[in-house]
Amino acid sequence: MRSSLLRLKMRLRPVLLTLTLTVSVAYYVYIPLPASIQEPWRLMLVAAAFRTSMHLASLRDWLGCDGYFKSVRWPPESFDGSGKVGDSSESGGGVVPGVKVSDITFAGIPVRVYEPPAGGEGHLRRGLMYFYGGDWALGGTERRSSDALSRTVSDELNTVVVSVVYRLYPEVHFPVPYLDCLAAAKHFLSPELLAKYAIDPERVAVSGASTGGNLAAAVAQEISNDDTVSVKFSIQALIYPALQTLDFNTPSYLQNQGIPVLYRPLMVRFWLRYLGADLSLQPQLLVNNHSSSHHSAVSPELRARTDWTVLLPPKHKRNHRPLVVGRGSPGLVKEVPGLLDARASPLLAGPEVLAKCPRTYILTCEHDVLRDDGLMYARRLQDAGVTVTNDHHEDGFHGCFSFTVWPVEFDVGRRLVRGYLNWLQNNL
Q: Is the pLDDT of residue 82 over 50?
A: no
- Alpha-helical runs (H) found in 173-299: 176-188, 191-196, 211-224, 251-255, 264-274, 282-286
Instruction: Give the pLDDT score at 298.
Output: 87
When pLDDT is cut at 50, 70 and 90, the band that residue 64 belongs to is low
Instruction: Report the SS3 class of residue 250.
Output: coil
Lowest mean pLDDT among 77-86, 161-170, 330-339: 77-86
Residue type, 223: I
Instruction: Give the pLDDT score at 406.
Output: 77
Asked whether the beta carbons of 376 and 303 are under 8 A apart, the reply is no
Among the listed residues 187, 295, 320, 398, the single catalytic one is: 398
Residue range 133-144: mean pLDDT, rounded: 74
Q: Is the pLDDT of residue 232 over 60?
A: yes
Distance CA 353, CA 402 (A): 30
Among the listed residues 204, 200, 239, 233, the one whose alpha carbon sits nearest the alpha carbon of residue 219: 233
Measured in degrees and rounded to the nearest 5, phi and psi for residue 205 equal: -120, 160
Among the listed residues 230, 194, 240, 219, the one whose alpha carbon sits nearest the alpha carbon of residue 390: 240
Distance CA 395, CA 42 (A): 14
Mutual orientation of helices 411-427 and 140-156 as an angle, nearest 10°?
A: 50
Distance CA 98, CA 109 (A): 25
Instruction: Report the SS3 class of residue 26.
Output: helix
Measured in degrees and rounded to the nearest 5, phi and psi for residue 344 equal: -90, -35
Q: Is the pLDDT of residue 77 over 50?
A: no
Instruction: Give the pLDDT score at 359.
Output: 98
Residue range 121-133: mean pLDDT, rounded: 90
Instruction: Give the pLDDT score at 14.
Output: 72
Residue 339 half-sphere exposure, CB side, CA atoms within 13 Å?
A: 29
DSSP 337: G
Q: Can the peptide bond before residue 170 be classed as cis, meaning omega within 30 degrees of 0?
A: yes
CA distances (Å), 160 to each of 89, 189, 425, in order?
13, 12, 14
Asked whether the beta carbons of 132 and 142 are under 8 A apart, the reply is yes
Asked whether the beta carbons of 91 and 81 are under 8 A apart, the reply is no
Residue range 263-286: mean pLDDT, rounded: 96
Through-space distance between the first and last CA atoms of the chain, rounded to whole angstroms: 82
Is the overall model pTM greater than 0.85, yes or no?
A: yes
Lowest mean pLDDT among 85-99, 198-212, 251-265, 398-412: 85-99
Lowest mean pLDDT among 132-141, 197-206, 395-404: 132-141
Q: Is the pLDDT of residue 24 over 80?
A: no
Distance CA 285, CA 291 (A): 8
Q: Is the pLDDT of residue 36 over 60?
A: yes
- What percent of the chain is modeled with pLDDT above 90? 66
Distance CA 399, CA 131 (A): 14
Q: Is the pLDDT of residue 339 over 90?
A: yes
Q: Is the pLDDT of residue 270 over 70?
A: yes
When pLDDT is cut at 50, 70 and 90, the band that residue 80 belongs to is very low
Instruction: Report the SS3 class of residue 131.
Output: strand
Between 161 and 299, residue with greater pLDDT: 161
No. of H helices and E strands in the chain?
17, 10
Instruction: Give the pLDDT score at 92.
Output: 37
Instruction: Give the pLDDT score at 325.
Output: 84
The DSSP result for 364-388, as a single string, is EEEE-TTHHHHHHHHHHHHHTT--E
Strands (E), 43-166: 100-106, 109-115, 125-131, 159-164
When pLDDT is cut at 50, 70 and 90, the band that residue 197 belongs to is very high
Among the listed residues 103, 147, 368, 373, the single catalytic one is: 368
Instruction: Give the pLDDT score at 364.
Output: 98
Q: Verify whether residue 368 is a known catalytic residue.
A: yes
CA 345, 414, 146: angle at the middle one, nearest 5?
Answer: 50
Instruction: Give the pLDDT score at 59.
Output: 65
Between 148 and 1, residue with greater pLDDT: 148
Q: Verify whether residue 82 is a known catalytic residue.
A: no
* Average pLDDT value over all residues in the chain: 87
Q: Is the pLDDT of residue 65 over 80?
A: no
Asked whether the beta carbons of 246 and 303 are under 8 A apart, the reply is yes
Asked whether the beta carbons of 386 and 264 are under 8 A apart, the reply is no
> How many residues are listed for the chain in this entry?
428
Which H or E element spans position 4?
helix 2-29
Distance CA 94, CA 151 (A): 8
Mutual orientation of helices 211-224 and 176-188 as an angle, nearest 10°?
A: 60
Among the listed residues 145, 210, 234, 345, the single catalytic one is: 210
Instruction: Give the pLDDT score at 269.
Output: 95
Query: Tens of pLDDT along 351-393?
Result: 999 999 999 999 999 999 999 999 999 999 999 999 999 999 9
Instruction: Give the pLDDT score at 135.
Output: 86
Residue range 185-189: mean pLDDT, rounded: 98
Please return the burial class of 144, using the count of CB atoms within 10 Å of its CB with bins 0-12, 13-18 and 19+.
Answer: buried
Between 244 and 332, residue with greater pLDDT: 244
